[in-house]
Amino acid sequence: MGADIKALRTRIKSVDSTLHLTTAMGLVASSKIRRANEAMARSRQYAAACAAVIGALSSRRECELSPYMRRTEGGAAKLIVIAGDRGLAGGYNANVFRLLRTVEGAEVIPIGKRACDRAGKPPVSSEDFTFAQAKDLADGLCGQFLAGETDRVGVIYTEYVSILTQEARVRWLLPLEKGESPAGGMVFEPDEVTVLDEAVPGYVAGMIYAAVRESFASEVAARRMAMDSAGKNAREMIDKLQLRYNRARQTAITQEITEIVAGSGLNE
């Protein structure tokens, strides 16, 4: 009986330690949510503006001559995969890697320490990823696309729907799709194709950066909800273990009293 009480006491201390960890990580995630959401909102606006410009240009018949709209087969696809810097975020990382398995034959460019570890590449933090890094990456990918070294460029990221819901998605950035929103009476100088070709690297950079910021906001939200759930489960487990511990102690005390009473009766 004494061994059972000691084991229960050790288990309670272990679960309580886990509860302190999940509470601390939940508080850290909560402190990052506001800044992450603000950065995500700004990057969404920038990406929407870039997409509107590219959509208006690519809707022009003249822009069908742009090399960024050519479609070829046989080259490799480049896929930017954005995962988290750490775990304990529910299914956040698992959903990204599950979606990645559905895309065959793509060369992975990882962002986020978990994605880098999986790909065997040097770590690139998704939390600290800058627009300058996105621009360098976009310039390199656009150059490879123009050189015919790759046929498609895409990104796997996690869309922030709400604090309760985040969904892994794949978006193909190159080649460009023909736009459906003509630019009205706009006049482009020197011509539409030249403007489009100059704008595409900035567009790709904006989409990459927006995807990273959206993914990080999703990671923080997922970790907050996972830690809340883990904390709730830990508290319920502590309550159950405490009840078992109290019953075990009560049984042990009752047994000791019975033995004492029995012993005193024999002495009489």
Low-confidence ranges of the chain (pLDDT < 50): none
Query: Cβ-count burial of 67 within 10 angstroms (0-12 exposed, 13-18 middle, 19+ buried)?
Result: middle
DSSP-assigned beta bridge partners for residue 156: 81, 170
pLDDT, position 225: 87
| 108, containing H or E segment | strand 106-111
pLDDT digits (tens, 9 = 90+) for 44-79: 999 999 998 898 888 888 888 889 988 877 668 999
pTM: 0.84
Q: What b/e sequence results for 145-175 when a residue is b if at least 16 CB atoms lie within 10 Å of its CB, and e otherwise?
A: beeeebbbbbbbbbebeeeeebebbbeebbb
pLDDT, position 170: 95
Give how far Cα 74 sits from Cα of 123, 170, 176, Å: 30, 21, 18
pLDDT, position 254: 81
Which three-class secondary structure state does DSSP give residue 206?
helix
What the chain holds in terms of domains, given with CATH numbers, is 36-223 (3.40.1380.10)
